[in-house]
Amino acid sequence: MKGFPGLENGYTLKRYLGKGGCGLVLSVARVSDGKEFAVKVIPKQKISTASSRRALVREVQILMDCDHDGVVGFHDLIEDSKYVYIVLELISGGDLYSALKDRKEGLCEAEALIVAHKMLASLVYLHKRGIAHRDIKLENVMLANGNLDSVKLIDFGLAHRASDLTFRDNCTDFCGTIQYCAPEICSKKPYNPAHVDMWCLGVLLYALLARKLPFPHADRRLLVKDIVHKQVEFSDPVWDSVTPQMKELISTLLSKQGSQRPDAAAALKKVEHIISSTDIWTDSASEVSNDDSAAEDVVRCEGVKKQHNLFDMVVDAIAVKLASN
């Protein structure tokens, strides 16, 4: 493969997918069977320091150790004189940022719950293994087949692995995307990276529903001030058709104190409870029946609920879990 000698023997170039902070992302086909993969091409000059090499090794080790349908799959690591190539599962459905950008409004609650359930299942898996992502955002959540029930976490370049699986060895480095940074990071305090993941998920869910970030300042100083001190608000009309339970979940995820946020397992149970509480949807419809636009939102949510069998699957899973206790 011209320009990328490390890939020449095993892969053929299909197309360029984009350019990230570390280098190019390519789509390639494996010569042996034609299967397509995504490849992160990292110039060695970008990993010339000991710390950058350690970060790359950590990312690869984490990806190699993960086997979950909510986490991008790892396939191969290749090196030549100029580049390091990380061969990954090809996810062709686009990211959540693009999906949201293409819409005139945010997701309805049913759609957001589908995303929340899948992402929390992934976080339960990761956190149990002492892995925190630390950069959860719309751009780092991909749709494997274009559907919301197929979301996968990508880009583990900032991921942290706890030495004792409990995250007691708090982090001190400033990392992540500023709009998603937790208050403890903005305050330059030692932090539990699992708590940070839960904050980021709260920001993401808020953005999915409102189609804007909870703290949308362009000015970095004001943004940090709001993240640290300002409580999240649900005053926009878009929140009128969102259940109190969902708003409460987002509020707790966006608690200023990391220890007050639910862990992934507790948040997953909360989401399953909201999904299984079918009376919530009936109540929502009756409460907004006099508001045409809000009523349309509820009808749209009911349509999504019928289209996605994830709701039935989750309810069935909860029933089985209760029966086995």
- Hey, which residues are catalytic here? 135
282: DSSP letter: H
- Residue found under tokens 């709009």: 179
Sign, CA dihedral 262-268-269-275, equals positive
- Residue found under tokens 């149970």: 269
Q: Say whether 219 sits in a helix, a strand or coil.
A: coil
How many whole angstroms from its chain centre is CA 232? 20
- Tell me the two tokens of residue 288: 């907004």
Straight-line distance from the first to the last Cα atom of the chain, in angstroms, rounded to the nearest whole number: 56
Alpha-carbon distance 239 to 95, whole Å? 24
Contact between 291 and 239 under an 8 Å Cβ cutoff? The reply is no
- Tell me the two tokens of residue 70: 């909510």
**How many residues in total does the chain contain?**
325
How many whole angstroms from its chain centre is CA 319? 27
CB crowding 42-56: b at 16 or more within 10 Å, else e: beeeebeeeeeeebb
CA–CA distance from 26 to each of 47, 98, 144 (Å)? 19, 19, 17
